[in-house]
Chain A
Amino acid sequence: MNPRDVGREDPDRLFIVTGGRADTDGPVLDLVSLIVGGGAAPPGTPSEQAGVLARCRDFPVSVAELSAHLDLPVSVVKIVLRDLAREGRVTVRPPVSAPPRDQLPDLETLRQVLVGLHDL
């Protein structure tokens, strides 16, 4: 939880990842959106994109796990993912049972969570 100084860490790399763009188009991504990749990265793919593609090729991976494994901040991973999704190189499985703001999770979801927890 120690706030660290990004500027001191590697500002140039982070700047390159985002391309310095105000990049908000593309799919809405949650921390737990699940990402499914298509195939191997072609030669010349930027390393952050290649890292993401390698991580989600065989199994779905959450945005949070990609961020942890690639050691990139969540918002940076989201920008990389939006590029890949727009190009059709990953698909996004959104958290469809997440309750909308000010609403309770639905009862069927709660029942499944309870069963899953009891099995733990």
Chain B
Amino acid sequence: MTSDRNDVPLRSTARDALKIVIVGGFGVGKTTMVGAVSEIRPLSTEEIMTRAGVGIDDPSAVADKNATTVAFDFGRITLNDEKVLYLFGAPGQQRFWFLWDQLFGGSLGAVVLVDTRRLADSFYAIDRLEHHGTPFIVAVNRFPGPAPDAPPARAAPSLARVRAALDLPPGVPLVECDARLRPSCKSVLIDLVQHLTSLHFPETTP
């Protein structure tokens, strides 16, 4: 990680940006994954939410003293002279629903990042993606050892058990990764793009 990684500008020919969203609960490794593959240091930005649920383009919401903001982070990968891929880390909790249209609208697809010690954190995101019609894969970020608050000596569950616990349809790929490692994150993204490609050919999808 070089110190000037943050300042790499886009190519002047860049004209076609794409989005992939990495969604999951707090602490599941979203920022770590974005940082592992991004050509810039992950940037953080924020969007305004209001308690009244006012549309975010309504400036009265901006001045509303009840407004709060939610932060999300992102990175990018230059694909070629014209195309650049942005990766957004999105909080998966229900109270951030207002961000979802902005993040998922027009995205290629999503990676649901899960920590097997807190599987329930991903239920809402999976449910929401299915209803949204956003194609996704699920990646298990393997943390060593039990969570600090978990019962002792519980072995990490197999992928088959994770699939059953998440009630994942058979067509949704489930993979493992280490969010800290670029090759691992790269292969998760490739798995997603291959899944999206295979969805064009439903008769050949296993």
Contacts and interface: CB of A to CB of B under 8 A. Distances in A.
Interface of A: 1-7, 11, 14-15, 17-24, 30-34, 58-62, 64-65, 67-69, 73-76, 78-79, 93, 95-102, 104-105, 107, 109-118, 120
A97 B16 contact: yes
Interface size class of B (residues with CB under 8 A): 35 or more
B200 A75 contact: no
B59 A19 contact: yes
Contacts of B106: 30, 32, 95, 98-100
Contact of A93 (B16, B48, B200): B16
Interface string B25-61: 0100000000001000001111111000000111111
B103 A31 contact: yes
A63 B40 CA distance: 15
B18 A24 contact: no
Interface of B: 9-12, 14-19, 26, 37, 43-49, 56-72, 74, 76-80, 83-86, 88, 91, 102-103, 105-109, 133, 135, 182, 186, 189-190, 193-194, 196-197, 199-200
B39 to A, nearest CB: 9
A52 to B, nearest CB: 14
A73 B46 contact: yes
B181 to A, nearest CB: 12
A65 B74 CA distance: 9
Given A20-B59, A59-B11, A73-B48, A109 B86 contact: no
B108 A6 contact: no
A59 B12 contact: yes
Contact of B59 (A22, A30, A95, A110): A22
Contacts of B133: 101-102
A33 to B, nearest CB: 7
B153 to A, nearest CB: 31
Nearest to A55: B9
A112 B200 contact: no
B19 A31 contact: yes
A96 B16 contact: yes
A74 B73 CA distance: 12
Contacts of B194: 114
Contact of B57 (A78, A95, A98): A78
Contacts of B47: 73-75
Contact of A79 (B9, B59, B60, B91): B59
Nearest to B15: A93
Contacts of B49: 3
B83 A97 contact: yes
Given A58-B9, A120-B182, 14 more contacts: A1-B26, A3-B68, A3-B69, A19-B59, A20-B63, A21-B59, A73-B47, A74-B47, A93-B14, A97-B18, A99-B107, A107-B197, A115-B80, A116-B78
